[in-house]
Amino acid sequence: MIDFELSPHIEEKKEEMRRQAMEILRPLAREYDEKEHEIPWDYVNQMWDAEKADIAQQLADLEAGTKRREREFFLKQIVMAEELSCGDAGINMRRARYGLGGAAIMAVGTKEQKIRFLKKYTEGQPKWGAMAITEPGAGSDTANITTTARREGDSWILNGEKIFVTGGLMAAKESDGLVVVWATVDKSAGRGGIKSFVVEAGTPGMTVTKVEDKLGIRCSDTASIVFEDCRIPYDNLLGSPEVLDKTKTTGFKGAMATFDATRPAVAASALGVARAALDFVREVFQKEGIPVRYGASPYSLKAAERDFMEMEANLHAARLLTWRSACLLDAGQPNNLEASMAKAKSGLAVTKVTQKAVELLGPLGYSRKYLLEKWMRDAKINDIFEGTGQINMLIVARRVLGFSGKQLK
For residue 34, which amino acid is it? E
Q: Are 45 and 24 in contact (CB under 8 A)?
A: no
For 135, which DSSP code? Answer: B
Is 386 in the active site?
A: yes
Q: If you count them, how many residues does the chain have?
A: 409
How many distinct helices (H) and strands (E) make up the chain? 13, 7
How many C-beta neighbours within 10 Å does residue 225 have? Answer: 25
Cα(341)–Cα(349) distance, rounded to whole angstroms?
12
Phi-psi region of 235 (alpha: psi -120 to 50; beta: other; left: phi over 0): alpha
Find all residues with CB under 8 Å of 375, minimum gap 6, and list them: 273, 276, 277, 280, 354, 357
118 near 59, Cβ under 8 Å? yes
Longest dimension (CA), the chain: 76
Q: Are strands 129-132 and 178-184 parallel, antiparallel or unpaired?
A: parallel
Half-sphere exposure in the Cβ direction for 376 (13 Å, CA): 20
Active site residues: 386
